[in-house]
Amino acid sequence: MMGLTDAFTLVCVVAGALLFLAGTVGLLRFPDTLSRLHALSKADNLGLGLIVLGLLPQQASPMGGVKLVCIWLLAQLSAATASQLIAGIAARRKPQA
Amino acid sequence: MPESLTLTALFVLLASAAGLAIVLRSAIAIEKLMAVQLLGTGGAATLLLLGAATAQPALADVALLLVLLSAFSCAAFTLGESEPPQAATKPDEPA
Amino acid sequence: MTAPASPRQPLSWPSLLGRGLFFFALWLVLIGAAPKDWPVGLIAAAAATGASIPLWPPESRLSLTGLVRFVLRFLPQAMVAGFDVARRAFARRIAMKPGLVTYRASLRPGMAQGALCAVMSLQPGKLPVSCAASGDMRVHCLDSDASVTAELAADEAAFLRILPGDRSGA
């Protein structure tokens, strides 16, 4: 017998995992470096966000949940900045990518 | 529940590993840097899932560390790259 | 909360104190609330506050309602961006036309423009590539045919509402 919270967790976590798969498929199929960067930064971070969302009801303490959300926020922040830095390098090396 | 979380963790790990294999095969240095990003998010997701499956909250700390490391390596790579032409930031400025 | 005093302008202590408390709270959440660890957390919060001064001057302020509206706008878009990439990746045929689009931002280069670029890199199909001193941004788009410029302008307008009165960035 599966409770409602467990069902929520499973749906979110599986959706997150599928987004990771989408990121990898994008890396394989997208035509140029910058497009592959799109796949990496967007799909994977949404995947991480969905997994964090799904794990929230499973936390023993509310503090653990806040910590998970903080980890996701930091990951999102660093990924947004980093993908833009990487894109800057890519464009500088190859002006018309 | 723990079994399905572990299975999902395995799935994410495999997807990230396949992505790593694709990116690391490329000859372009930037795509290799993308591997660091991939390792950061994919590794963090795997660790969080495993931490929830095995009820070990300490794994969340490891996930945080992975995210931090990938952010730092990207910043370091960019600083080393952008010094010669029109550096937007002063080289000695803490990033 | 110690912070190196800037020679140019007097520091506003209340805002610095609030910032330090915020960093300390973040530290408590991430590391745990055991009192024996607090000294390390206080040092870390002080260091973070000191590091934040050159990046985000204490005088600049944020509009809270603007921030809330911005987050409400940005979160769904970040989700759409992820699903958009997933849809393209799983499509039977890769249907996209990647290209660079130039967009003239009204923000001057600096912290605010950097933040704008970071936010835009999470929007569907867009990835800022470079920001010139004139405010020209080059944005890489998965679909360079789409009405990118209008979307970018709308995003920037929403972003500007966070910074009341301070459009110079700095």
Element (H, E) at C66: helix C64-90
> Which residues does chain B have within 8 Å of residue C54's beta carbon, measured at their own beta carbons?
93
Domain extent for C39? 13-55
DSSP conformation class of C4: P
CA dihedral C131, C132, C135, C140 (to 10 degrees): -40
Residue C7 lies in a domain: no
Please name the residue of chain B whose CA is at the shortest distance from the CA of residue A60: B55
Please tell me whether residue A29 adopts helix, strand or coil conformation: helix
Beta carbons of C89 and A38 less than 8 Å apart: no
Domain that holds residue A86: 4-93
How many whole angstroms separate alpha carbon A45 and alpha carbon B71?
A: 14
CA atoms of B40 and B23, how far apart (whole Å): 14
Taking contacts as CB-CB distances below 8 angstroms, the residues of chain C near A49 are 78-79, 82
**Alpha-carbon distance B39 to B45, whole Å?**
10
Tell me the average pLDDT across A80-97. Answer: 72
Token code pair at residue C121: 């890199």
C51 & C80 share domain: no
For residue C77, tell me if it sits in a domain: yes
Per-residue CA distances from C38 to A63, B68, C14 (Å): 17, 21, 22
Structure tokens at A50: 């969905």
pLDDT value at B89 more than 70 = no
CB-neighbour burial class of residue C20 (10 A; exposed 0-12, middle 13-18, buried 19+): buried
Q: Is B88 on the interface with C (CB under 8 A)?
A: yes
> Which range (A72-76, B53-57, C23-27, C65-69) has the least confidence?
C65-69
pLDDT (average), residues B29-39: 84
Classify residue C168: in a domain, yes or no: no
Residue B94: the pLDDT is 46
Q: Which chains reach chain B with 3 or more Cβ–Cβ distances below 8 angstroms?
A: A, C
Chain A within 8 Å of C47 (Cβ-Cβ)? no
**Partners of C101 in the beta sheet?**
C139
CA distance B44 to B55: 16
Q: Domains in chain C: how many in total? A: 2
For residues C80 and C17, state if they share a domain: no
CA dihedral angle for residue C75, residue C123, residue C159, residue A12, rounded to 10 degrees: 10
8 Å CB contact of C129 and A41: no
- Please check whether residues C47 and C103 belong to one and the same domain: no
Q: C129 touching A, CB under 8 A? A: yes
Q: Percentage of residues in chain C with pLDDT exceeding 90?
A: 2
Q: Three-class SS of residue C7? A: coil
Per-residue confidence band for C170, with pLDDT thresholds at 50, 70 and 90: very low
Contact A96 C100 (CB under 8 A): yes
Q: Are residues C87 and C24 in the same domain?
A: no
Q: Is the pTM of this model over 0.90?
A: no
Q: Is residue C138 part of a domain?
A: yes
Tokens standing for residue B42: 């994919």
The first and second tokens of residue A96, run together, are 């018309």
Residue B74 one-letter amino acid: C
Judged by a CB distance cut-off of 8 A, whether residue B58 touches chain C is no
Of C120, C102, C158, B11, the closest CA to residue A42 belongs to C120
* C105 plus C146 within the same structural domain: yes
ipTM at complex level: 0.85
C50 lies within 8 A of chain B by CB: no
Decide: A50 and C114 in contact? Cβ < 8 Å.
Answer: no
Residues of B in contact with A21 (CB under 8 A): 11, 15
> How many domains does chain A divide into?
1
Q: What six digits make up the tokens of B22?
A: 């694709």
Query: In this structure, are C81 and C27 located in the same domain?
Result: no
What's chain B's average pLDDT?
82
Which segments within chain C are labelled E, that is strand? 99-104, 126-131, 136-141
CA distance B74 to chain A (A): 6
- Cβ distance of A67 and C29 shorter than 8 Å: yes
Cβ neighbours of B88 in C, within 8 Å: 109
Nearby residues of A41 by Cβ (< 8 Å), 6 or more positions away? A79, A80, A82, A83, B37, C121, C122, C127
